[in-house]
Amino acid sequence: MTLVEEYLQIRKYSEQVCEPLQTEDYVVQPVVDVSPPKWHLGHTTWFFETFILKPFSSNYQVYNDDYNFVFNSYYETVGNRVIRTDRGNLSRPGVNEIYQYRAYVDEAMVNFLANALNDEVRELLVLGFNHEQQHQELLLTDIKYILGNNPLFPVYVKDKKEVSVIQNEPGWIDIPAGVYEIGYDGTGFSFDNELNRHQVYLHDFAISKTLVTNAEFLEFIHAGGYENFNYWHSEGWDWVKSNHIASPMYWHLMDGEWFNYTLGGLLPVDLNAPVSHISYYESYAYASWKGMRLPTEFDWEVAAKHFNWGERWEWTESAYLAYPGFSKAPGAIGEYNGKFMVNQKVLRGASIATPQNHSRITYRNFFHPHLRWQYTGIRLVK
Amino acid sequence: MTLVEEYLQIRKYSEQVCEPLQTEDYVVQPVVDVSPPKWHLGHTTWFFETFILKPFSSNYQVYNDDYNFVFNSYYETVGNRVIRTDRGNLSRPGVNEIYQYRAYVDEAMVNFLANALNDEVRELLVLGFNHEQQHQELLLTDIKYILGNNPLFPVYVKDKKEVSVIQNEPGWIDIPAGVYEIGYDGTGFSFDNELNRHQVYLHDFAISKTLVTNAEFLEFIHAGGYENFNYWHSEGWDWVKSNHIASPMYWHLMDGEWFNYTLGGLLPVDLNAPVSHISYYESYAYASWKGMRLPTEFDWEVAAKHFNWGERWEWTESAYLAYPGFSKAPGAIGEYNGKFMVNQKVLRGASIATPQNHSRITYRNFFHPHLRWQYTGIRLVK
Amino acid sequence: MTLVEEYLQIRKYSEQVCEPLQTEDYVVQPVVDVSPPKWHLGHTTWFFETFILKPFSSNYQVYNDDYNFVFNSYYETVGNRVIRTDRGNLSRPGVNEIYQYRAYVDEAMVNFLANALNDEVRELLVLGFNHEQQHQELLLTDIKYILGNNPLFPVYVKDKKEVSVIQNEPGWIDIPAGVYEIGYDGTGFSFDNELNRHQVYLHDFAISKTLVTNAEFLEFIHAGGYENFNYWHSEGWDWVKSNHIASPMYWHLMDGEWFNYTLGGLLPVDLNAPVSHISYYESYAYASWKGMRLPTEFDWEVAAKHFNWGERWEWTESAYLAYPGFSKAPGAIGEYNGKFMVNQKVLRGASIATPQNHSRITYRNFFHPHLRWQYTGIRLVK
Amino acid sequence: MTLVEEYLQIRKYSEQVCEPLQTEDYVVQPVVDVSPPKWHLGHTTWFFETFILKPFSSNYQVYNDDYNFVFNSYYETVGNRVIRTDRGNLSRPGVNEIYQYRAYVDEAMVNFLANALNDEVRELLVLGFNHEQQHQELLLTDIKYILGNNPLFPVYVKDKKEVSVIQNEPGWIDIPAGVYEIGYDGTGFSFDNELNRHQVYLHDFAISKTLVTNAEFLEFIHAGGYENFNYWHSEGWDWVKSNHIASPMYWHLMDGEWFNYTLGGLLPVDLNAPVSHISYYESYAYASWKGMRLPTEFDWEVAAKHFNWGERWEWTESAYLAYPGFSKAPGAIGEYNGKFMVNQKVLRGASIATPQNHSRITYRNFFHPHLRWQYTGIRLVK
């Protein structure tokens, strides 16, 4: 596949994810962590325009100078107009205007990519691909949040499944103690936070081949897991109490039966599916109730070649920290990952919202421990 | 005009106010006091469906039971589904669906109004008319907020004016002391808060024929009015400090010149126009700086026959309280006004957002003292 | 009584109120509206030092320049040291140091008062007396709050009563409609907010001779008054729900019996005593449940000569606003009352915490509608 | 030293730390993380009473059942009285009463310790010693906060020093890569979080022999370190902006010179002393500005035998997490450490507030990254 083909394929996929939406669905931002779909479409476009076309494509005409106000991730204002606003308050630019913006930038990019590219541009281009793919994952989970918190429970796509692969046979994988290599060492793209490849000493452990299922998580609920502070971190317990948490997100108890909002609509909870939309706090409490623990991200990276993964992002016990020798790229691109390395937990794997070929065994995702809108899951270690 | 004609004219006007909007503009709620335009369109429809069609029109089929979740003013849930959400988070029902809902209810109402109506229904009908007219005023000011807080400053209607009548010649009207009659005493519609007609003793005062202009308000700014706590209430001063208030809402200082966002776009401040979008706190501070005061609502009602009004809602010194003998109607309709009679200030007059024939000299509007998104203004008394 | 004698008597009474306290009780500030007793003792002293001794007593040496940081009501800092703090965070100056400060200022005042005084000083002196008396009332209710919210329920003074006068015989007083005179017109001291004497038109009404009793208020509780939003203002209902209010302040349901913390300790609720420690919201809801209303402050002032009062501050329906012709004194003293004239409710009468001879029939007290730590009560009008 | 002697020595030291205080200083709680000194004195006593005397000493009479309400760390209420309060709101029990409580429990303990003790009691006793020593450290830093945030800047002890040992000669220690042993392996007391002894692979690094000094930190300030977001975590930058942080805690810029509140009073900043009272965010930003990093807790534990430490708690890069094989003790004692293992950073070493013989090279302290009231410092790694 040529770079142009890859560019067009990735750009098209963002639009495909939005195809089932009505115009209104593109606009809202129900909570701060969820961005409006139209913002994702504009922001990923602004990324290519700002970091590739403006600096490297001579004669490129910026589509609209004002878009910097609305599609910059930080909303720091430029020039005279200082207006503090949130993404979900912005009705303009409208959805059609943003699709026109995408078309304009795509045309300019296709022309630009016909030229010989130097290494710096190539690197930025691949970063742009990966950046858009990260947003594709958020796009789907943000859409789920927008639809799933509407009292009409609108269907995204009829019969849309949230489980795609066959789970492994139940069982445990034993990993012996020793020094292991961790981090990316391939020749393709990786994020700065996957570098450098380095050594970690692991003690022996056994890791489950399978993710915890809804049936298993229901046992935790029935055993009073949400009402016993002994299973929880102190901050997790505060979170449970002050938010009245008593089940995974999207679960609704209706006339004694548990229902689950999925992209295919509101359905009875699928007992065999892996539990999803749980916080780190809930993952920890579940493991604690079982007398087991979550894997560290290093446990996971070493063991993951021995089981199927990719259905749920898996919470690990590890805090999101720099690897030995970590260094930031210079300039705005360098802001990418390092500044988030405090108060967050690492997730490993991928989820059914992850675009194909986007994830790898060394990929490190990270979220604050209370967040639940991603397809998160639990794998146990003993 | 027949009742059917009046019904259709009022209903049509709500849709005319929204005509210049893009679909996205119907959806957002940038602050809690501003509702999405599509919510106004649905809620006013739900009012006729719930209070007239359901109880009085036999065989009426409710359009969609779930709409009670989203168009009830209180979002108290019914049945099993308990979802806490804000109006601005709801992308569904979409704009087209709401217009279909309006058409469906309008058709049912037209059929129903062909019948003979008893007094109770007639009263509810007129209340529904006035309710929708109140929402038309909010609709326009909410639209202004949505567009005016967008960094692209989109135009609602090119050349749209926010001043329509000729101001009075400057001058003062002297009102002698004495006992005056206050409150509605006509035979048409009035809200419960305008009743009962009663007597009030007024001391003599002189009231300005004209509203304070932007030029006059600029003098207050240049004199350091926003920086001197002596002109302000203690709570007003806290509001100024914690919100960094230094000018009326929608004003922007750009390269040393004051601009003003209007429904016609961002324009230089019109010095001759009455100042607008100021809080009660600012009105009070301005009057205090001038060594004068605001009128009470009783001053205003007695004097208003002597000057033109209707451009700006005028802040009064009066707290919003019940008139002697005030009583609430029984049932849900009775909740209309009484429960808001604490911590709010009365505004008198009307504004350029007020539908024609909607206001009258006894009409009492009310808002919390810090709010600014209505077309509020200042008239002085000495 | 000479001015010196009056000065010393008033100053001594503040210290008498504090006599039953332990040192620790002088220090804490459990909520923002309650000040530490030692702060009251220091602040009233600072008032005489700042407004009389410093400007008028030649050769007066300020006791400690730093005390301006801690005893000024506003804590605006002077000079280089900017430290943001709350009164309850300050352990220093200690209680003994503050009593020494009082002794030092008292000695200087006694010497100063031996001189002939001009009218300006006399006026400031009387304002200082009234200022300290207002703080004596707060001192007692703040002490009650500090002790009454301690889980050990310490006794202030054994057998201390919170009811002192005999209630009137039950019955109603009829007041005919007409124009009445309102406001202070004597020759002694009054606050600026009691001026000017002016006319008000009242419609006829009947006012209860007696305050609502605990027995009567219990009926409201048993009738579900705290659970039915129809009796409440919208903001009152929010206050009930978010603060889980279900009884007057200081009431505790223990093994099915209602107890009440009083200055004499925790005791069974006295059914015949007037209900106390209720917010305006509760007063309004109670009146609404009875199908009656609260008096306006004008109703009260006209009727109060016909019944005994002074046990409880009585909530009125009136918002705290300026009287016609109200004007502020120049300078810092002018800040006294005017700046609070928004979002507060007027209370009339006095309470068992009010120093003798401090109150009068034209006195206007005012608090935000949710506050309950004063000895507030309810008198009905129909 | 016998157990009784050790008990009495530790108990006495808590009282010695409080000796310079006035009664009022024992009472206040200026921020949620700082407890009133009298609470520390009561809570450590309640610990011995609750976990040793009540379960193991037959015939022991509880001093006051109500003390459970006020000296339990959690304030969960027992029985009928439900009062929500903060420690700083409680004036009772008073300081003298708490010293009597201490004397009563100490006498009972001395009697009890005359008996033969089984292993369980011995373990609880040593835990009680260490628990009180941890509170002694907090006691001193809480006292510093209480006095240092008072605008009078009271002196704790004249000439009290905050530096006691001689810093090392400047220089770097090289540690070669390899597998190292981490965690407690002695036979004495350690906390559960120091266990189990386990292996960690470290890459080679060089660690500074000396802590960053005030002179060095001033360079960071002068270089605009607090104004350049590139040095900060995203959450650190938010913390700087919203709290207007521009220097270490207790620093005051007065007429162009930096002063520092110390236990000996307000003094010019000592340029040679190690910087203190900085958050993790500031430590990270400083290291980032220098192009270096903070040590991990494992780096520190391996290297610390090569330099003097104990003056400042040293922020590490490590998140506070469980060691491999960590398990909680059963019962209430098991709550000790595990439940805090999220969102906190590890500090290593000790500080001048640490009681003698309390710390060891494997000791793990932990705080949220924004906290500054401990004697925290910075050691760099490259």
Average pLDDT over residues D23-42: 95
* CB-closest option in B24, B147, B255 to A27: B24
**Would you state the pLDDT for residue B73?**
67
Check pLDDT > 60 for residue B81: no
Lowest-confidence segment of C229-233, C257-261, C326-330, D349-353 by average pLDDT: C326-330
- Report CB contact under 8 Å: D149, C85: yes
Domain count, chain A: 2
Task: List the single best residue of D24, D147, D257 to mutate versus C (max C Cβ within 10 A).
Answer: D24
Search chain A and give the residue with CA nearest B83: A151
**Would you state the pLDDT for residue D46?**
94
Check pLDDT > 50 for residue B78: no
**Would you state the pLDDT for residue D336?**
67
Q: Could you read off the pLDDT of B96-141 as tens digits, one per residue? A: 999 999 999 999 999 999 999 999 999 999 999 999 999 999 999 9
* CB-closest option in C203, C339, C369 to B342: C369
- Report CB contact under 8 Å: B90, A28: yes
Check pLDDT > 50 for residue C78: no
Using a 10 angstrom Cβ sphere, with 0-12 exposed, 13-18 middle and 19 or more buried, the burial of residue D249 is buried
If asked whether residues C301 and C180 sit together in one domain, one would say yes
Give D-chain residues touching A234 at CB under 8 angstroms.
Answer: 339-340
- Report CB contact under 8 Å: D94, C28: no
Residues 6 or more apart from C136 whose CB is under 8 A from it? C13, C14, C17, C353, C355, C358
Q: Give the bridge partners for D173, in sequence order.
A: D207
Give B-chain residues touching A252 at CB under 8 angstroms.
Answer: 80-81
Check pLDDT > 50 for residue C76: no
Q: Could you read off the pLDDT of C161-212 as tens digits, one per residue? A: 999 766 778 999 999 999 999 999 999 999 999 999 999 999 999 999 999 9
Search chain A and give the residue with CA nearest B71: A151
A199 vs chain D: nearest CA distance in angstroms? Answer: 7
Search chain C and give the residue with CA nearest D90: C150
Average pLDDT over residues D300-329: 94
Q: H or E stretch including A261?
A: strand A257-262
- Report CB contact under 8 Å: A85, B254: no
A370 vs chain D: nearest CA distance in angstroms? Answer: 11
**Would you state the pLDDT for residue B124?**
92
The whole-angstrom separation of Cα C35 and Cα A11 is 63
Check pLDDT > 70 for residue D14: yes
If asked whether residues C131 and C189 sit together in one domain, one would say no
Q: Could you read off the pLDDT of A211-260 as tens digits, one per residue? A: 999 999 999 999 999 999 889 999 999 999 999 999 999 999 999 999 99
Residue A164 lies in a domain: no
Q: Please state whether at least 3 CB pairs lie below 8 Å between chains D and B.
A: no
Q: Of the candidates B132, B148, B164, which is a domain's last residue?
A: B148
The whole-angstrom separation of Cα B37 and Cα B45 is 13
Residue A292 exposure: Cα atoms within 13 Å on the Cβ side: 19
- Assign A334 a pLDDT band (cuts: 50, 70, 90): low
Residue A159 lies in a domain: no
The whole-angstrom separation of Cα D131 and Cα D191 is 10
The whole-angstrom separation of Cα B247 and Cα B267 is 16
* CB-closest option in A230, A235, A341 to D343: A235
Percent of chain A with pLDDT over 70: 94
Residues 6 or more apart from D173 whose CB is under 8 A from it? D206, D207, D208, D209, D303, D306, D307
If asked whether residues B87 and B203 sit together in one domain, one would say no
CATH code of the domain containing C320: 3.90.1580.10
**Would you state the pLDDT for residue C330?**
67
The whole-angstrom separation of Cα A65 and Cα A78 is 10
B75 vs chain A: nearest CA distance in angstroms? Answer: 10
If asked whether residues A43 and A140 sit together in one domain, one would say yes
pTM score: 0.95
Check pLDDT > 60 for residue B153: yes
**Would you state the pLDDT for residue A337?**
78
Search chain C and give the residue with CA nearest D154: C92
Check pLDDT > 50 for residue D305: yes
Give B-chain residues touching C179 at CB under 8 angstroms.
Answer: 179, 201
* CB-closest option in B24, B149, B151 to A66: B151
Percent of chain A with pLDDT over 90: 83
- Report CB contact under 8 Å: A342, D280: yes
Give C-chain residues touching D154 at CB under 8 angstroms.
Answer: 92
Contact present, A179 and A200 (Cβ < 8 Å): yes
Check pLDDT > 80 for residue C294: yes
- Report CB contact under 8 Å: D369, A341: no
DSSP D77: -
**Would you state the pLDDT for residue D87?**
86
Q: Give the bridge partners for D175, in sequence order.
A: D205
- Report CB contact under 8 Å: D233, A198: no
Residue C133 lies in a domain: yes
- Share the mean pLDDT of chain A: 92
* CB-closest option in D233, D234, D342 to A235: D342
- Report CB contact under 8 Å: D151, C77: yes
If asked whether residues B240 and B196 sit together in one domain, one would say yes
The whole-angstrom separation of Cα D161 and Cα D274 is 13
If asked whether residues B113 and B230 sit together in one domain, one would say no
Q: Which amino acid is at C45?
A: T
| Residue range(s) defining the domain that contains residue D232 | 172-377
Lowest-confidence segment of B64-78, C213-227, C299-313, D270-284 by average pLDDT: B64-78
- Share the mean pLDDT of chain D: 92
If asked whether residues B143 and B7 sit together in one domain, one would say yes
If asked whether residues B211 and B352 sit together in one domain, one would say yes
Contact present, C278 and C245 (Cβ < 8 Å): no
- Measured CA to CA in angstroms, residue B222 lies from B219, B248, B279, D273 at distances of 5, 13, 18, 50
**Would you state the pLDDT for residue A331?**
64
Q: Could you read off the pLDDT of C17-74 as tens digits, one per residue? A: 999 999 999 999 998 899 999 999 999 999 999 999 999 999 999 999 889 878 886 5
Residue B156 lies in a domain: no
- Report CB contact under 8 Å: C94, D252: no
Q: Is the dihedral of CA B1, B3, B4, B8 positive or negative?
A: positive
If asked whether residues A211 and A121 sit together in one domain, one would say no
Give C-chain residues touching B343 at CB under 8 angstroms.
Answer: 235, 343, 369
Where do runs of H (alpha helix) occur along D114-193?
119-148
Check pLDDT > 50 for residue D81: no
Q: Could you read off the pLDDT of B297-343 as tens digits, one per residue? A: 999 999 999 999 999 999 999 999 999 999 877 666 666 678 899 99
Residues 6 or more apart from C123 whose CB is under 8 A from it? none
Residues 6 or more apart from C195 whose CB is under 8 A from it? C183, C184, C323, C325, C326
* CB-closest option in D92, D150, D152 to C152: D92
Tokens 């002068």 belong to residue: D222
Residue D359 lies in a domain: yes
Between chain A and chain B, the number of residue pairs with CB atoms below 8 A apart is 124
If asked whether residues A139 and A283 sit together in one domain, one would say no
The whole-angstrom separation of Cα A71 and Cα A97 is 13
- Report CB contact under 8 Å: C319, B321: yes
**Would you state the pLDDT for residue B83?**
45
- Report CB contact under 8 Å: D30, C89: yes
Residue D21 lies in a domain: yes
**Would you state the pLDDT for residue B74?**
56
- Share the mean pLDDT of chain C: 92
Check pLDDT > 80 for residue D106: yes
**Would you state the pLDDT for residue D181?**
98
If asked whether residues D95 and D211 sit together in one domain, one would say no
- Report CB contact under 8 Å: D340, A179: no
* CB-closest option in D30, D147, D152 to C93: D152
Residue D163 lies in a domain: no
Higher pLDDT, A28 or C337: A28
B250 vs chain A: nearest CA distance in angstroms? Answer: 10
Using a 10 angstrom Cβ sphere, with 0-12 exposed, 13-18 middle and 19 or more buried, the burial of residue C120 is exposed
Average pLDDT over residues C296-319: 96
- Report CB contact under 8 Å: C318, B322: no
Residue B204 lies in a domain: yes
Strands (E), C130-184: 172-175, 178-182
If asked whether residues B140 and B199 sit together in one domain, one would say no
